Amino acid sequence: MDRVHAFGEDSSGDALGDLDAVGVVDALRAGTVSAREVIDAAIARTEAVNPTLNGLAYEAFDRARARAALPRPYGGYFDGVPTFIKDNVTVGGMPTMHGTDAWHPRPADADGDFARAYLSTGLVPLGKTRLSEFGFSASAEHPRLGPVRNPWNIEHTAGASSSGSGAFVAAGVVPIAHANDGGGSIRIPASCNGLVGLKPSRGRLPLDKDMRQMPLRIVYNGVLTRSVRDTAAFYREMERVAANPKLPPVGDVTGPGKQRLRIAVCTHSVAREASPEVSELTFKTSALLEELGHRVSVIDNPVPHRFTADFLLYWSFLAFALVRGGRRTFGPSFDRERLDNLTVGLERHAARNLHRLPTAMARLARVHKVTGRSTSAFDVLLTPTLADVTPRIGHLDPSADYQQIIDRLIDWVAFTPLQNATGEPSISLPLAHSASGLPVGMMFSAPAGQDARLLGLAYELEEAHPWRRIHG
C-alpha cells in the first residue's frame, strides 16, 4: 500500500515533528521551537505532499510567515499553530471557490463570522483546502481540478467534502484543520483518513451568513485532528470566544468520562445494512465498550423510511438555489456549463420535485422527535461512520451518469446525514482498519448539547485502544 505523509522517520526532522496541536502549543510556550520554525515546517510539508495528495485550494504562505513573525499574531491559546481553512467559508484576502472552477475567483474583503472566531484562537492559516464541488459529494474528484487522494493509499479517496483538510491532517502537514459538515463532511474524511472528527450540536459554533440563511440549518463547522485532546481543546477555546448560552457548555474536557453509559449499537441504516466487514468491526467496538463497563444493546434502525428521500430532496434544493442564483451569488463569470454532473443532476432533481419540498422539510424538521422515541433510553448511539470501506478514486466520479453517482453516494453515506437533520452531536473515531489497511471510523452520537459526553467517551476509547498512525 502506497502511503504518503510528511512525518520524518524519527519524528524529529523539523519543528512540527510528531506533535499534535496541543503539543505544538506546549513546544512554543517552552521556547523549544519558534512560530516561524513551525510555520516554515508546515509550508515545507505542504509543498512535499500536495503534488500527490492534491488537497490545496489556495496558498497563503507569505501571509502565514508574516503573521508568525509578529510577537503575537492573533493571541489565543493556539497562537502560532498552523492550520488550513476549508474553501467554503469566507476568509479576508482569500477567494472562496467551493470546490469548483465555475467562475473567476475574487478575494474576500473581510473574514466571515466563522473565520473571525476560528482565527481568534491563534491558529495561523496557510491557505484553503479542497472540497468536492459545493460539498455535494463524499469524494473530491473534480474533472478538471483532479481528485484529492487518501494519504493511507493514494488509489483511494480522502472522503469529502472536507477532503483536503482530512488528507493534510492525516499526512502530518498540519495538526488541525477546519472542516464542516452538511451530511457527514467532517465525519466522512475523519473515517477515511484515520482522524477524530466531531460534528457539534446545532448552534455550537458560528456559521457564515450564507449557511445561516438556509431554511434548515444542516451545516456545522468543526475541525479534523489526530488526537482527542486537540478536538477537546479546540471546542474549549471556541467556547471562550463564541459561546452559545442556549447550549450546555463543553467546558475543558481533559480525560475519560467516569459515567458508565447506556450505548445502543446499530449497523443497519435506512438505506442498507453495513458491509459484513464494517459490521464486524462495529461489533468489535461494541465488545470493547462492554469490556470498559458500558451497557451495550443492539437496536433496530430508528430512522423513518422517508428520511433518505427527504434529505436528498433538501440537498438537491441547495444545488438548485446555487445553480439558479449562480450569477447573482458568484458574479457574471459564473458558467453552469463548468459544473459537474452531480451538481447539475441534483439541481434537476429539485426542479422536478419542488412541489414535494415543503412536506419533506417539515418531516426533516421533526425527525429528531421520531428517532428520539427509539433512542431515549440510551446515552449514546454507536454506528459505523460509513456503510462500507473507503472506495477507490473513480467510484464516485462526478462526471459519470447522475443516477449512478447518487445511488453510490446513498449506498455509502448511509449513516451520517441523520445528525445533520436532528442537530445532535456526532463524532467519528479511527478505531478500526479494513483488511486492506485503510482506516474505518466508528461513529458515536448523543442527544443535542451533549458534546462533552462524546469527548469523554472518545478519550476513554483512545486510551483503551490507541489508533494506528500513518507513519507507525
Selecting among 86, 199, 269, 316, the annotated active-site residue is: 86
User: ∠ CA 188-304-180 to the nearest 5 degrees?
Assistant: 25
The C-alpha angle 41, 91, 160, rounded to 5 degrees, equals 75
DSSP state of 398: T
Q: Is 185 considered catalytic here? A: yes
Q: At what angle do helices 341-353 and 307-324 cross, to 10 degrees?
A: 110
Sequence-ordered list of residues with C-beta below 8 angstroms from that of 163, at least 6 positions apart, any chain: 55, 129, 130, 131, 132, 139, 140, 148, 157, 189
Beta strand spans in 136-253 (E): 141-142, 146-147, 149-150, 153-157, 176-181, 196-199, 220-225
Q: CA triplet 328, 330, 334: central angle to 5 degrees? A: 95
Residue 17 grid coordinates:
515533528
Cis peptide before 162 (omega within 30 of 0): no
- Where are the alpha helices (H) located in 120-269, listed in sequence order? 163-170, 187-193, 209-212, 228-242
Question: What phi-psi label fits residue 419: left (phi over 0), alpha (psi between -120 and 50 degrees) or beta?
Answer: alpha
Sign of CA dihedral 468, 142, 184, 234: positive
Grid cell 474528484 in the structure block, residue = 141
DSSP label at residue 221 = E
Nearest Cα to 467, choosing from 439, 434, 445? 439
The active-site residue out of 132, 137, 139, 161 is 161
Residue 70's CB: how many other CB atoms inside 10 A? 11
Q: Tell me, yes or no, if 161 is annotated catalytic.
A: yes
| Contact partners, residue 93, CB within 8 Å, separation at least 6 | 60, 63, 107, 108
Active-site annotation holder among 185, 191, 316, 426: 185
Q: Which residues are catalytic?
A: 86, 161, 185
